[in-house]
Amino acid sequence: MPRTRPPKPTELLKLSGTLRKDRHASRFDADIDTLPPESSFPPAPADLHPRAASQWEPWINGLLLKRVLTPADFSTLEIGFRHLSQALYYSDRIAAEGMPDFLSDDDLDRRKTLDKLFQEATRAYMKVMYEYGSTPAARAALKVPPEPEKDLDPLEVVIGN
């Protein structure tokens, strides 16, 4: 009798997104189509800018539904959101300063410093969040496990919808 490869561990199948009900029914122990309970991911850090904090939950839910996010990613995601919070803070400060044409030389130097800090925070945010699909180009490069196959209605197959 030929030797066969040992099966992949169930946890590895879950992480890679290849755990399937039809193929691994004997060791299937969770519904892969649902989000984990809300208590399994941390809430937005309390010190985030309000606009950054309002984006925390939609990002988490979207990434969990695509099976891209794991608990190991939360610290990296938090760092990205902290950079976003800094960028929004500097953006608010820049908006409060007014137009640069009407600023004195001292105010203009402060404005240039704020602009530089804003650009650095934005660049750092985009670097971190690019890994999670923050731009269309990043989403195209993102390797998302395939969606589970749905049971098709035979009539829908014939009609083509």
Taking CA 70 as the corner, what is the angle to CA 68 and CA 76, rounded to the nearest 5 degrees? 95
Q: What is the mean pLDDT of residues 96-124?
A: 83
The Cα–Cα gap between 28 and 10 comes to: 8
DSSP state of 30: S
Checking if the pLDDT of 52 tops 60, the result is: yes
> Which residue, 101, 121, 120, is CA-closest to 111?
101
Question: Are the CB atoms for 123 and 114 separated by under 8 Å?
Answer: no
Q: What is the mean pLDDT of residues 71-93?
A: 89
Tally the residues of the chain: 161
Q: What is the mean pLDDT of residues 62-87?
A: 84
Query: What pLDDT was estimated at residue 152?
Result: 66
Taking CA 76 as the corner, what is the angle to CA 146 and CA 54, rounded to the nearest 5 degrees? 85
The Cα–Cα gap between 45 and 71 comes to: 16
Q: What is the mean pLDDT of residues 19-30?
A: 68
The Cα–Cα gap between 135 and 141 comes to: 10
Domain layout of the chain by residue ranges: 54-137
In terms of phi and psi (left: phi > 0; alpha: psi -120 to 50; beta: otherwise), the region of 51 is alpha
Checking if the pLDDT of 161 tops 80, the result is: no
Burial class (CB in 10 A: 0-12, 13-18, 19+), 98: exposed
Q: What is the mean pLDDT of the chain?
A: 78
Checking if the pLDDT of 27 tops 70, the result is: no
Q: What is the mean pLDDT of residues 116-120?
A: 93
Checking if the pLDDT of 43 tops 80, the result is: yes
DSSP state of 41: S
Q: What is the mean pLDDT of residues 134-154?
A: 68
The Cα–Cα gap between 97 and 99 comes to: 7
Task: Report the share of the chain in percent with pLDDT over 70.
Answer: 74
